[in-house]
Structure 1
Amino acid sequence: MLCQSHTRCGDKFYDPQQHCCYDDAVVPLGRTRKCGNCTFRVCFEQCCPWSLRPQEAFVVKVKGQKCTLAPSLDDRVCSR
């Protein structure tokens, strides 16, 4: 019998191959949310506020990167 690894999200366990923990809730890996006029995958990306240009108010960055870092080629700039 194979053991499956499970991770905790608050008081719940989940399979990290199928879900992630986002805002203290277990969500499917494919879950998305809006970030200005863009969509980001909550398990893999994050929506960061950015206001150097008024029409470009958000940047989608890889999860774990600091939002304070300047946008890179891998980031997506999103308008309001």
Structure 2
Amino acid sequence: MREAVEARDALARALTRAGIQLPAMDVRTPWRDVVAGDGSGEDDPDCARAARYALVHLGVCSSSVALALAAVIARGADR
């Protein structure tokens, strides 16, 4: 979890330096979010096997922000 938060923060700082802000960056975990749908009240068995990691969710952005992000990536890739 800590690594995902640090990655999100690093990405946000880099995007800010490039003049880009994604409106909804957060960290999400893929475990303990699912409950069995059979009314038993037990956790979904697939949930117990879920990888123990977190994901950086970038959310959605406008087309102008997507184009700006693409341009920054392209400039970096051309170096």
Q: Judge same fold: TM > 0.5, yes or no.
A: no
TM-score for both structures, normalised by structure 2: 0.23
TM-score for both structures, normalised by structure 1: 0.23
